[in-house]
Structure formats: C-alpha cells, structure tokens
Amino acid sequence: MSNSDSEQHYPTWHEQENARLQRELDAVRAEAQALSLDCSNRLSEARTGNAKVIHALDTAIMFIEALLAWLPEGLPMNPGLASAKHRLDEALKDIRRK
C-alpha cells in the first residue's frame, strides 16, 4: 500500500465551491418546482371560479330574457329596464367580440 492510498483526500476549494453551488442550484430547482405547482393549483382554482361565475351569468341572462319575452307587446318598457337591457346587450356584444 502506497502512502497516497492511505492518505485522506481533502476537497480543494474548487471542489467545495462546486458542491456548494450544486446544493444552491438544487434548492433553487426545488423552490421553482414548488412555485410552479402552486401557480398551477391557483390557475385551476381560478378557472373553476370563473366557470361558476359564467354559469351564474348565463342563468341570469336566460332568466332576464325569459321575463322580457313575457312582456305584453306594445307595452312601454320602464326606462330603467330598457337602459339595463341595452347595457346588458352591449356587454354581451363586447364579450362575443373577444
């Protein structure tokens, strides 16, 4: 057995620095993966919430249109109702354009 075989190897400064940088890189990767998962979960929650809002809006629009369809022909519409219906129609046109 030679003298060099029995000697303990002490890492050089470069080896220590490389090991430190590798640990730092691993930590950053782990944090990035956690953030990515968090973003994915939040996006999924937002989509679910948006779907509920859109469903409620669609239901409300169908209800309003059904009520307006039952108004007797020739009956003057209340100005506030007419204005609200106009704003709703304009908002729906804007949504459909996008």
For the stretch 8-38, pLDDT in tens is: 889 999 999 999 999 999 999 999 999 999 9
CA distances (Å), origin 38, targets 41, 54, 58, 75:
5, 24, 30, 55
Residue 3 has pLDDT above 60, yes or no: no
At residue 74, the 3 state secondary structure works out as: coil
What DSSP state is assigned to residue 7?
A: S
Given a contact cutoff of 8 angstroms between Cβ atoms, the answer to whether 36 and 57 are in contact is no
Give me the residue spans of the domains in the chain: 11-97
For the stretch 40-66, pLDDT in tens is: 999 999 999 999 999 998 999 899 889
What does the pLDDT read at residue 67?
A: 87
* Distance, C-alpha 8 to centroid of its chain: 54
